[in-house]
Structure 1
């Protein structure tokens, strides 16, 4: 959203970013994150809505996606904030893909409203067509397994590759709420998609096709990506990450970069297997590691995890044996700078869209290991349509 705000600033608009405090504890509170981002972007105004009480989702065991319902309770505060602007000054509102409940406020106040879809056009196309797919079904899609589903604008999509919560029974609470969120994403005046047309031309055209959703005219689709951080400035050695210094000593296009930091869904056992594979391969590597989540339920999204203990997570002696050709770091890697470094030759990733765009923009080929959310859908389109990656398949 900050990168999008900076794009608007370049076009001469004033930008205010409205946010709420996360309703759960994390390793980085919303307040400190906003302060840090605001300090780096002084031209953007940041406004945090007063916090409202939230249920204890970690204790209830409910899926974190249901937290999105809390945004509806902020509509009154959001309306009050919008009314504080002189109407002539307020050009429009751009909603995050998960904040579509605020659409009702904008309609009420007659303010032009758009959606910002932070993932790709292929994902948006599938999710936009999904409600029609399950309309009238009496069973969920899980029973279809890997049966390919035909969606306009994307390669045949195995049913199992959809967001797993959408595979449940159509009347399941989570499935219904997710379906409604995706439907409302295309009920605004237009959708700003974080992509560029030459990367996903088929998907973009499908969203402009009257047959995409029969009986419904979709709003205008605008490709405004890739919204990718500029990285550090050339020659800026202040606080330069150790991994960049290490890359300086490696041959051109010789290093494989691995990063699976999204929610820590790689288990401790898998980390050890990856280490064994890297050591056996003889390949130069840069590996960003985080502490695995304690479980694969909703709590993994909410828990605060300590810094990883590499001596415990890695096979005995691994770090010593591979020190001449590999570097394992337990901090965030400056991905944009890593991708743009001459020594980086390939990227192993879970297929989160931000990382995909960063790698594509730097011309770095990818090995896909999708883990959750829309990542398997991204993998299909990256390997079969875009031609920027190959799938990394796990041995049985």
Structure 2
């Protein structure tokens, strides 16, 4: 990724608060490296009140980050499940994103949420380097990149029960513990997810919310290209851990009280779970940590 002088990065989260908040933490990281961070938020007419309030709150709390709402038409298939509806909405956002990038100052890169894969077409048209931001563990990334190639050789996960799924870079995971959106191989949910996972390698690179000491096995698999057979794997950049420093919670910038509790626990006795709004990535993180430390 381009470094060395002050540059503008446009961050493009997927729909929902669970995708917006990690992008804000990445924007803070870019600001600490003296870059300009601009978050473009797709804003369809059916945006829920929680998401709208979150954008307003985050913008007020982070005045150094520029937030821009992109008005997007609603998905024409209002009765579709939320996975397909979100994909349709993000596709409808492409012309609006394109116009926004053309009007804005030149961007050094467009940083995409893992589900905003169709924005790659806009980046290619405009000649803007596109990177993905993967807010979960590198082990999750290794598994998800491998699923489009592995899954056609397996029964649906929902039928495999406790049988183990083996992906490069990850300890075996029970099929029943895989995310809900990929349980049925022939469902629309899974087809959307496989399409998204298959397109991620088209980016220039992937920024992952992890660090080398924590996940050497997964990062080695990603670096060796074994997760994406038959095609090149984009370079993976560890930018983690990206976490809120807690200063806004205490109100005074002081040390959060939970840290005192953590300091009092025996070494390697705590597993951290951070649940998102819809997907089950945190389950995979927990499984990874369990196999890593126990």
Compute the TM-score of the two structures, normalised by the length of structure 2. 0.81
Cα distance in 1 for residues equivalent to 2:232 and 2:139: 18
- The answer on whether the counterparts of 1:115 and 1:186 sit within 8 Å (CA) in structure 2 is no
Provide the residue aligned with 1:44 in structure 2.
65
Change (3 A) 1:132 1:343: closer
Structure with bigger RCO (C-alpha 8 Å, 6+ apart):
2
120, 124, 127: which one aligns with 1:107:
124
Provide the residue aligned with 2:160 in structure 1.
144
98, 106, 119: which one aligns with 1:79:
98
Mapping of residues 1-396 of structure 1, within 5 Å: 1-21=23-43, 24=46, 26-30=48-52, 32-54=53-75, 57=78, 60=79, 62-69=80-87, 70-86=89-105, 89-135=106-152, 139-169=155-185, 171-232=186-247, 237=252, 337-342=256-261, 365-366=270-271, 373-385=280-292, 387=293
1:78 positional shift: 0.5
Cα distance in 2 for residues equivalent to 1:343 and 1:7: 25
Bigger helix fraction: 2
Offset from partner CA, 1:110-161 (integer Å, 9 cap, x none): 1111000011101111111111112355x42322111112211111111112
Offset from partner CA, 1:359-378 (integer Å, 9 cap, x none): x9xx8713879996223322
Cα distance in 1 for residues equivalent to 2:279 and 2:115: 17
Change (3 A) 1:111 1:372: closer
Change (3 A) 1:234 1:107: closer
Q: Number of paired residues?
A: 268
Change (3 A) 1:10 1:175: same
Cα distance in 1 for residues equivalent to 2:249 and 2:74: 45
1:54 positional shift: 3.6
Paired residue secondary structure (2:131): strand
Cα distance in 1 for residues equivalent to 2:192 and 2:249: 46
Q: CA RMSD in A?
A: 3.0
Cα distance in 2 for residues equivalent to 1:83 and 1:125: 34
1:219 positional shift: 0.5
Paired residue secondary structure (2:285): helix
1:340 positional shift: 1.5
Cα distance in 2 for residues equivalent to 1:193 and 1:144: 30
Cα distance in 2 for residues equivalent to 1:212 and 1:19: 31
Stretches of structure 2 lacking an aligned partner (at least 5 in a row) = 1-22
For the pair shown, the structure with the greater C-alpha radius of gyration is 1
Cα distance in 1 for residues equivalent to 2:184 and 2:238: 31
Cα distance in 2 for residues equivalent to 1:191 and 1:135: 25
- The answer on whether the counterparts of 1:338 and 1:344 sit within 8 Å (CA) in structure 2 is no
Cα distance in 1 for residues equivalent to 2:274 and 2:38: 37
